[in-house]
Structure 1
């Protein structure tokens, strides 16, 4: 009985080992998951001088932490590369940059009738 139970454990361990090794090797975006405070600073154009957004990242996907005022969509790659957009009504800004452990930065530019651009800085809050 003990011998067959031990053989079963060995077989299960051997079967699970490749999956566990692959999981350890696969880069994870979850290190960026959490609540981030993002400051958006206008450097060109007639947009307001600065904005601050709460952003939630879960499984590498970004979304606005507030109500329905803004729509924030985007993705954080395992290496920290960020691509996304911030929109409200018909106004939209394209965002690119990079996150690191607890901070991040990048640039943004609007599309549409109002042309603005600038930089953004992010700080992990939770």
Structure 2
């Protein structure tokens, strides 16, 4: 393989026996395989730092909320008390209580997550940071 990069560190790889033709971008700089792999790893690390998972498992959500402080208690206790005290007069409350008690995973844009976000006064960035932290919790 022959490896090249462009001015934005985009990596290109070509079979060694294939000649470059009019379809090959111009202005490429030849690099070694090692340099190509290092650039690829760097790009992957940059992407993963900004990556926010769309969902986290129930275990991850509960572990995070039970270890995160909020006022005089934990985030979990605050949200759990709110959900448990909801009446079951509206379909929204019934769905929220059922999801909170039984959901196997939680999506960032779901009703339980949005409700918890509103209760805790979290910005979208803070919610995303919590999802990143929760996704790192492994059993």
Q: TM-score, normalised by structure 1?
A: 0.31
Higher alpha-carbon Rg: 2
The structure with the largest strand share of the pair is 1
